[in-house]
Structure 1
Amino acid sequence: MRGLFSVTLLLLLALTLSAEAGPGKGKGKHKAGKHAKAASECTPAETEYGKCVPEQGDCGEGLREVTCKGQTNKIQCRIPCNWKKDISDCKYKFGPWGPCDAATNTKSRSGSLKKVLFNADCRDTVSVSKPCSPKVKKTRGEKKSA
């Protein structure tokens, strides 16, 4: 029994040392992004990206075609399952939500273009809206009425 314990301890020590010796995350090695792996020998100007096509439904995980120098590959992508799916390849800086419009029961806000991903066609400004919250937020000093 004592011999089995010693062998197990030595194996555990050897595994620990080999794991420390190998390259780990964040140790100076830059890991390319998902889209850089597919077309690593191409410049961004030579690379054409297709739309993200979800595997099921109209949002979620999917695939995007990447074409470079006549070679087409597919890479993984994701379409958000909320109001952002129309602008998923464009990144915007949004302001605060506006007041609730009682007629439509929605509130809206606008955003200005911050970053374009995958050579997408993006508008300079966008406006989005969402339903108003039915709950009235209470301030910190208020207590629940019983």
Structure 2
Amino acid sequence: MRSLFSVTLLLLLALTLTAEANKRVKGHKAAGKHEKRPASECSADDTRYGKCIPNDGDCGEGERESTCKDRTEQIPCKIPCNWKKAISDCKYKFGPWGSCDAVSNTKSRSGTLKRALFNANCDNTVKVSKPCSPKVKKTRGDKKSN
């Protein structure tokens, strides 16, 4: 009976120490994050945001201007690296690519606005185009002829 009590006490002590160590580690990780900014007297409608400018290259962590009344400050932002550069603050849902235009050798598709970042001025619909592929795709029914 004493051994069971001792084992239970040791397990309880180990769990307590592990939980305390996890709290310290989690608190330490948060120290590198951006500090919380004090609440502003401006509402979201009164605040105007500039374009996000990445620190390195054309995507990733960066800064943008936030302007409210007479006060302008730099705030952190991020441009995902897989978004289109010209419409970086706007996310669109695109349809399938259209057929190839023989005159311009391009194909296009249109997208409708899905969401906008930080009160960005986004068009409700956009049209993007790209060069046509030089290869002709075969359908499943086509077979090689010998």
Q: TM-score, normalised by structure 1?
A: 0.60
Give distance in 2, aligned partners of 1:100 and 1:81: 25
Per the alignment, do residues 109 and 93 of structure 1 end up closer, same or farther by CA in structure 2, a change over 3 Å counting? same
Residue in 2 aligned with 1:77? 78
Q: Does 1:60 align with 2:66?
A: no
- Cα RMSD of the aligned pairs, angstroms, is 3.9
Per the alignment, do residues 143 and 19 of structure 1 end up closer, same or farther by CA in structure 2, a change over 3 Å counting? farther
Residue in 1 aligned with 2:136? 136
Per the alignment, do residues 79 and 64 of structure 1 end up closer, same or farther by CA in structure 2, a change over 3 Å counting? farther
Percent identity between matched residues is 58
Q: Contact between 1:64 and 1:77, CA under 8 Å: does it hold in 2?
A: no
Give distance in 1, aligned partners of 2:17 and 2:137: 54
Q: What is the CA distance between 1:143 and its match in structure 2?
A: 6.8
Letter in 1 for 2:109: R
Name which of structure 1's ranges 122-131 and 47-56 shifts more when overlaid on structure 2.
47-56
Give distance in 1, aligned partners of 2:140 and 2:49: 49
Q: What is the CA distance between 1:100 and its match in structure 2?
A: 1.3
Q: Report which of the two structures shows the higher radius of gyration computed on alpha carbons.
A: 2
Give distance in 2, aligned partners of 1:93 and 1:133: 22
Q: What is the CA distance between 1:98 and its match in structure 2?
A: 0.2
Give distance in 2, aligned partners of 1:60 and 1:109: 24
Q: Does 1:123 align with 2:130?
A: no
Q: Contact between 1:110 and 1:126, CA under 8 Å: does it hold in 2?
A: yes
Per the alignment, do residues 134 and 13 of structure 1 end up closer, same or farther by CA in structure 2, a change over 3 Å counting? farther
- SS of 1:86's equivalent in the other structure is coil
Per the alignment, do residues 68 and 38 of structure 1 end up closer, same or farther by CA in structure 2, a change over 3 Å counting? farther
Letter in 2 for 1:89: D
- How many residues align? The count is 124
Residue in 1 aligned with 2:103? 103
Q: Contact between 2:110 and 2:125, CA under 8 Å: does it hold in 1?
A: yes
Q: What is the CA distance between 1:97 and its match in structure 2?
A: 0.7
Q: What is the CA distance between 1:125 and its match in structure 2?
A: 1.7
Q: What is the CA distance between 1:74 and its match in structure 2?
A: 2.1
